Chains A and B, each alone.
Chain A
Amino acid sequence: MSHNGSKPTEKPKFAMYWASSCGGCEIAVLNIGPKILDVDAAFDVVFWPVAMDAKYKDVEAMDDGSILLTLFNGGIRNDENERLANLLRRKSQILVAFGSCAIEGCIPGLANFSSQDQIFDAVYASVSTDNAGGIRPKTHTTVPEGILHIPEFYPVLKTLDQVVDVDYYMPGCPPESHQIATVIDLVLAVLEGKAELPPKGAVIGAGDSTCCDECPRQRNVKKITKFVRIHEMDAIDPDLCLLEQGILCNGMATRSGCGALCPQHNAPCIGCYGPAEGVVDYGARIMSALASVIDSRDPDEIERILDGIPDPAGSFYRFNLAHSLLRTGKVG
């Protein structure tokens, strides 16, 4: 990667942006500890709303391609998100979809199961909302001082690569700090000419197997006879695969990289590292895997076993609905 337009003495430029996200990814980056000082030493941080003051117009004024590395987290929920995605794409040499929201929609993407009206009803007109005037957001509002603009809320949440070209994907909700540190080390090594960048489109900061690969639990040939939720269990065997104990663990379908954090703490993997390499639809994958090992041939019993799955849509598409083949909860 050549840094066209930057003078040799200048440090390469770094940006980070949050679109529709919770802010966890930003915390994860700050959480890399002393390594953050290496970032500061090696890069000139030009744009990072959570950490420093900056204006969109400052970014607009930069030369195209003048930012070496942009970590973009959050999905594309409104036209402001989309505008920033396009802007940062133009200004950056390397654009990384950072974290589950940018890659696959994550929790905000679950709103794709509902229509825009349903979402607004839930937010502005449910019992928990004190909104006597029944006010709904509008893109233009005239006030004495002039016209106010707020971003237009899209019918569905899109992922970053559904609106712009993405160079790399860094999964996790949020990406684990040790993985962020590894990626930063890699970038630094590339800058020093000691390493090569992975091929475009690669997933970085993660493994190439699934969570089970990093999970220390004992596992046997799978035969599922029931699904239970953790609070329904008297005790969880600390050494046996959770799925074999009836707990819906998504580890088998979720990309490795986190170190099997959740299963190691008696909690099932819920899939935040996204699908494994080459998997087109995470939810479909996990459903066909589970369906293959339900241990019964009796349709009624199979029905009973499946009824034990808590919130199937949420369990199988929790992180990836927006990027799945379904994309939304509705066809047409």
Chain B
Amino acid sequence: MNPSQDEKERIGVYVCHCGSNIAGVVDVEDVAVWAGDKLADEGVVVSRDYKFMCSSLGQEMIEQDIAEQGLTRVVVAACSPHLHEKTFRGACARAGLNPYLSELVSIREQVSWVHTDKQKATAKAKAMIAGGVERVIEQEALEPLKVPIHPATLVVGGGIAGIQAALEIAESGSLVYLVEREPSIGGHMAQFDKTFPTLDCAACILTPKMVDAGSHPNIELYTWSEVERVDGSVGNFTVTIKKKPRYVNEELCTGCGICVEKCTRNVIDGEFEAGLGYRKAIYTPFPQAVPKYPVLDTENCTYFEKGKCKACQLLCPTGAIDFEQTEQYITVTVGNIILATGFDLFDARRVPQYGYGRLKNVFTSLEFERLSNAAGPTNGEIVLRDGVTKPESVGIIHCVGSRDRNYNNYCSVICCMQSLKFAHLVKERTGATVYNFYIDMRTAYKDYDEFYQHVMEEGTIFVRGRVAEVTDAARRSGEEDKLIIQVEDTLAGRQRRIPVDMVVLSAGLEPRRDAKQVAHTFGISCSANGWFIEKHPKLDPIATMTEGVYIAGCVQGPKDIPSSVAQGAAAAARVISRINKGEIELEPIRATVDAHKCSGCRICNDLCPFNAIVWHEDEMVTEINHALCQGCGTCVAACPAGAISGTGFSNEQVMSQIEGLLMFEQPVDLLAMAV
């Protein structure tokens, strides 16, 4: 049924060449002529092709046609909505047409980039445009949703990325809640001695920032705390923070450290000292910890074990020790959230042939960081596990758990540079012979390759090849009491056995073990291996698909300190601009439940990746919170009653698009092309 001529929409079709991106594979002129002719009955009154529709001239063409030809609908066949939907909606809006009465048909990503046969690709582009035209007829005029932005921000994770983000925002004058799971902020960087490539002392450059973050009037620091729950959406999140009991009253504690000194229990420090040193049952993880308040570890405290001791309480000069402390829940309201929860180190035990945990003098990279740290358990002496012997030869193995199909396929980015740093430190402190075993040397970025050359000049021996095994089974003379590294030297083209005293495994970076759970709490997604997914890998690496939730640092993927800092600052800049603007406009693409049709079957209740679905037990119906819904369509597809409809994706819109796709007999079998 075709509506009569005067009630028909007046549709403009614009086919983009995208330089040769589209025109190289699709006959765009033919497509435009075809659409003007064959789709005239559907209401197409203008059909043009143009070199770059997204250029200002291309956009003006649309604006002019809307004004002069009275277009009521616009179809642009070009790249993907991700890239330029906003551009063309903008053109419509400037010409006075509701921007949602336009449709972007992707003939680049879905046609020219995936096909090579020009005739077939052209036929497919035509079918897709016919689908777009049928769909745009069913489109409705919509108004963007305007949401006010609460000026406070939540930053989760107090590593270098989170600290940087918090400081930037605080400096701009807005309040930040910085939540850190550990007793102190600082993250991994606090454990290092030197940082590549400049060999700055990590503490010297980090601690001033930690102190700033701890004392800034605009930063409320919650350490030994975690985010329990997040409700609401961009502009107005309600966040519940769980503050674990420290058993130390922060208002009374002066950080004098007497309790720590007097505590009678020594405990192996598996966290900060990576198992190489001791701490007390009541402790601050390191001297420069921020905040300065100690934490009592109930699992190792004599009082919690046996019911008596309380030495710390007796000796605390301000009476700050409080054995009755319990968990506290604090609720705050924020407009934006930055996640900077960092990474975990790959567990080197998972590569049994390298012997970590079995062979005494095999160390992980973090252990080496503590060994070489002047404030570490050996005061920076690089020694074997016995605590005294200096190694005469050291083997450093790159890519442990990285670039390996059995573990992680990706490159952990920092390990080459970190291994070079280790080689330098060993040379400097012990004069030992150092071997670095690498697959490829990755020293991109400023001053990195120079550092590599410097380490080569220092005399470190580089062996190219993946180490097969580290063993203590001596076969030849000179191998007794040594660790033997078995490797195929791919440059020399032969197998080698290299005996050393110490092996350091440059373990890769992995997503936090609880990354999926954290992602779920904040309504964002993880990639298959667990890194948080950015909105766009190139153009928007710090935003996520969830409005108001940003990511910075290693949560997004392995990276070095400069990149982590840059991301922290970038995420902060985005948040600051949001706060300054006061409100944002959101896509009005939302799902809605027709309460009348909803049977309360509860199929949809747990499906929303953004936690937008609310169940009302009293009325046995489901509702969708429009502030949270991102219009992803998951629930729309799932509802067996058809009770949920999505704006922009109604049954009519989807079915008419399909009808359009199938409207013309195509010269080639498009279904066959899909395979």
Contacts and interface: CB of A to CB of B under 8 A. Distances in A.
Interface in B591-633: 596-607, 615, 620
B199 interface: no
A213 B601 CA distance: 7
Interface stretch (A96-104, A124-132, A217-225, A303-311): A217-225
Given A278-B642, A285-B642, A209 B605 contact: no
B637 A288 contact: yes
B642 A289 contact: no
B601 A212 contact: yes
B634 interface: yes
B420 to A, nearest CB: 39
A209 B641 CA distance: 7
B96 interface: no
B602 A209 contact: no
Contacts of A209: 596-599, 641, 643
A277 B642 contact: yes
Contacts of A279: 641-642
Contacts of A222: 601-603, 605-606
Contacts, number: 79
Nearest to B671: A331
Contacts of B634: 292
Interface string B571-607: 0000000000000000000000000111111111111
B277 to A, nearest CB: 40
A211 B651 contact: no
Nearest to B638: A292
B620 to A, nearest CB: 8
A214 to B, nearest CB: 8
B641 A219 contact: no
21 contacts: A209-B641, A210-B599, A210-B640, A212-B599, A212-B600, A219-B601, A219-B602, A223-B606, A252-B603, A252-B641, A253-B640, A253-B641, A256-B599, A276-B640, A276-B643, A277-B642, A285-B640, A289-B639, A292-B603, A292-B634, A292-B638
Given A222-B605, A223-B606, A280-B655, A289 B638 contact: yes
A253 B605 CA distance: 15
A293 B638 contact: yes
B656 to A, nearest CB: 12
Contacts of B603: 222, 252, 289, 292-293
Contacts of A79: none
Interface in A206-239: 208-213, 219-223
Per DSSP, chain B at the interface is loop
A9 to B, nearest CB: 41
Interface of B: 596-607, 615, 620, 634, 637-643, 651, 655
A174 interface: no
Contacts of A211: 599
B659 to A, nearest CB: 12
Given A209-B596, A277-B597, A220 B602 contact: yes
Contacts of A213: 598-600, 620
B601 A252 contact: yes
B641 A292 contact: no
A276 B641 CA distance: 5
Given A209-B596, A212-B599, 19 more contacts: A209-B641, A209-B643, A210-B601, A210-B640, A211-B599, A213-B600, A219-B602, A221-B605, A221-B615, A222-B602, A222-B603, A222-B605, A252-B601, A275-B642, A276-B640, A276-B643, A279-B642, A285-B640, A292-B634
A160 interface: no
Given A222-B605, A288-B637, A252 B642 contact: no
Interface string A82-109: 0000000000000000000000000000
Contacts of A288: 637-638
Contacts of B620: 213
A282 to B, nearest CB: 9
A321 interface: no
A251 B601 contact: yes
A285 B655 CA distance: 14
Contacts of B596: 208-209
Q: Which of B597, B603, B604, B638 has the most CB of A within 10 A?
A: B603
B487 to A, nearest CB: 36
A288 B604 CA distance: 11
Contacts of A69: none
A279 B655 CA distance: 11
A67 interface: no
A286 to B, nearest CB: 6
B1 to A, nearest CB: 13
Contacts of B606: 221-223, 293
B651 A280 contact: yes
Contacts of A251: 599, 601
B600 to A, nearest CB: 6
A223 B615 CA distance: 15
Contacts of B651: 278, 280
A292 B634 CA distance: 8
Nearest to B635: A292
Contacts of A220: 602
A286 B640 CA distance: 6
B318 to A, nearest CB: 49
Nearest to B637: A288
B138 to A, nearest CB: 14
A293 B639 CA distance: 11
A209 B643 CA distance: 8
Contacts of B637: 288, 292
